[in-house]
Amino acid sequence: MWEFCVEVVNNNIKQTFNAQTDMKWRDFLNEVHQHLNSPRSEVQVGFRISGDGGPMLYLATEHDWNLAIAWLVGKAQAVQTRPASMEVKNMVRHSI
């Protein structure tokens, strides 16, 4: 089991919490929603592993969560010079 930092970005404000690689999908999602200021029905979670460029990837199912964790663990094992982290944000864009 590995512990990693999750950075939840909401309206350009970053909040963090610690998660574990053996964390259940529902527990992770509940923690993310505590940091987002939107109704659950208006949230589509996206993520990116630290150091990875490119667009955010959707994190919508337990299967997605398991793939993200496998990716994070692989990155952490390969790098080992700094902790791997995960950035998370709501992928729904609201127009005013």
pLDDT of residue 95: 44
Write down all domains in the chain, each with its CATH number in brackets.
Answer: 3-90 (3.10.20.90)
Question: Could you report how far apart the first and last alpha carbons of the chain are, in Å?
Answer: 43
Do 21 and 1 meet the contact criterion of CB atoms below 8 Å apart? yes
Do 49 and 70 meet the contact criterion of CB atoms below 8 Å apart? no
Residue-wise pLDDT tens digits, 35-53: 998 888 889 999 999 888 8
The C-alpha atoms of residue 59 and residue 37 are separated, in whole angstroms, by 18
The per-residue pLDDT of the chain, averaged, comes to 88
pLDDT of residue 82: 64
Residue-wise pLDDT tens digits, 56-79: 999 999 999 999 999 998 887 776
Question: In degrees rounded to 5, what are phi and psi of residue 15?
Answer: -120, 150
pLDDT of residue 81: 64
Close Cβ partners of 32 (under 8 Å, ≥ 6 residues apart): 6, 8, 45, 88
Instruction: Check whether 94 has a pLDDT greater than 60.
Output: no
Mean pLDDT along residues 11-26: 94
Place of tokens 């990116």: 48
Confidence (pTM) = 0.83
